[in-house]
């Protein structure tokens, strides 16, 4: 598996797999297959895929460590950028279909509704991570400062779960929230354990 992950074809294959949900949504929108409320379907679907992509990104390091597949690390940046892309599409869907791209109304809505403010904060953090994910920026920042900034992915995970929880609270539907919270909690818990072990050594 590690040799396959190191192959030059691995990145294009993973890129295409990450793009499949977006391609499906584009097709479904043009084929009128998004249900009675296409706008709501797009907002929810892009939000769901942002969470799923975030789970995948946070799985890379534990999986790499447990399996001994170091080549997994070369896919992490691309997966992180896809997470950011789906988050931007989620925000764009809300801004366009719910708010008609009216910037003053969007700003007022963000300030008024806590769950949107939390989601917007997570997007801002993801923007910082995406903007500093390139080799030239990493070199300019220095490894320590870059690592410190990119630890904010943990804050992104927490904010994303809180955003999802508040969104579902109105309908008292917490089943999916619990699943994502369990997955992200396990992944972050693993990282915490590794950090404690490293400190002790």
Give the Cβ contact number of residue 199 at 10 Å: 7
Question: Which pTM value belongs to this model?
Answer: 0.92
pLDDT digits (tens, 9 = 90+) for 80-136: 999 999 999 999 999 998 899 999 999 999 999 999 999 999 999 999 999 999 889
Three-state SS annotation for 74-133:
HHHHHHHHHHHHHHHHHHHHHHHHHCCCCHHHHHHHHHHCHHHHHHHHHHHHHHHHHHCC
Domain that holds residue 186: 2-200
Q: Is the dihedral of CA 92, 94, 96, 101 positive or negative?
A: negative
Cβ-based neighbour number of residue 163 at 10 Å: 24
Asked whether 115 and 163 are in contact (CB, 8 A), the reply is yes
Domain count for the chain: 1
Mean pLDDT, the chain, whole residue set: 91
Q: pLDDT tens digits, residue range 159-171?
A: 999 999 998 877 7
């Amino acid at each position: 598996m590690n040799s396959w992950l190191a192959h030059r074809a691995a990145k294009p294959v993973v890129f295409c797999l990450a793009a499949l949900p977006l391609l499906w949504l584009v097709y479904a929108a043009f084929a009128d297959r998004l249900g009675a409320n296409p706008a709501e379907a797009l907002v929810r679907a892009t939000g769901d895929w942002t969470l799923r992509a975030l789970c995948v990104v946070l799985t890379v390091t534990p999986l790499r460590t447990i399996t001994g597949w170091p080549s997994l690390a070369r896919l992490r940046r691309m997966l992180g950028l896809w997470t950011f892309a789906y988050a931007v599409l989620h925000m764009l869907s809300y801004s366009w279909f719910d708010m008609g791209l009216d910037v003053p109304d969007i700003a007022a809505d963000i300030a008024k509704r806590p769950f949107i403010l939390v989601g917007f904060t997570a997007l801002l953090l993801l923007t910082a991570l995406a903007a500093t994910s390139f080799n030239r920026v990493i070199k300019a920042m220095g490894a320590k400062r870059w690592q410190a900034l990119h630890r904010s992915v943990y804050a992104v995970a927490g904010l994303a779960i809180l955003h999802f929880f508040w969104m579902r609270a109105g309908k008292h539907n917490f089943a999916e929230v619990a699943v994502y919270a369990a997955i992200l909690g396990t992944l972050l818990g693993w990282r915490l354990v590794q950090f404690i072990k490293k400190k002790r050594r």
